[in-house]
Amino acid sequence: MTKNPFARAVPAALLGAALSVSTFAPPALADIKDYRFELLQQEAKVGEAVIAVRLVDQRNGKPVTDAVVFAKRLDMAPDAMEEMATKVEQVPSTEPGVYRFKAKLSMQGRWRLSLAAKIQGETGTVEDRLVLQAAR
């Protein structure tokens, strides 16, 4: 009686494939701490100002597009005047990963921009606080 030479090879190959699939780990997702906002300019003029920030994936340095920025606050907390706050309005941007905000900086000093964003495909919220200088 002759046995088929593939009779042992096929089950062994299937077992090997099953083991390699079961030990395969999907690529690790980013941690929300892998993202940060960066000011494009450290200084703005007193009065009506447009503040531009870039949201960056720190793992590869690339800008993050299509994030939803939902928490925005601008105050003078760095100069011990947290109650001195102003409205922040998001305005359109033409650069990928750059988010622009219009605000009225009423006086010279350091202003803290607090931001929060959701990134598509990630769980959690990116939160950051950036300090810029308002000058005449």
CATH topology of domain 32-134: Immunoglobulin-like (2.60.40)
Model confidence pLDDT, tens digit, residues 40-84: 999 999 999 999 999 999 999 999 999 999 989 999 999 999 999
What tokens does 31 get? Answer: 């941690």
The confidence score (pLDDT) of residue 9 equals 56
pLDDT digits (tens, 9 = 90+) for 20-40: 444 444 444 568 899 999 999
> For the chain, what are the domain ranges?
32-134
* Distance between CA atoms of residues 126 and 107, nearest Å: 29
pTM of the model: 0.75
User: Cα separation of 126 and 37, whole Å?
Assistant: 9
More confident residue, 25 or 85: 85
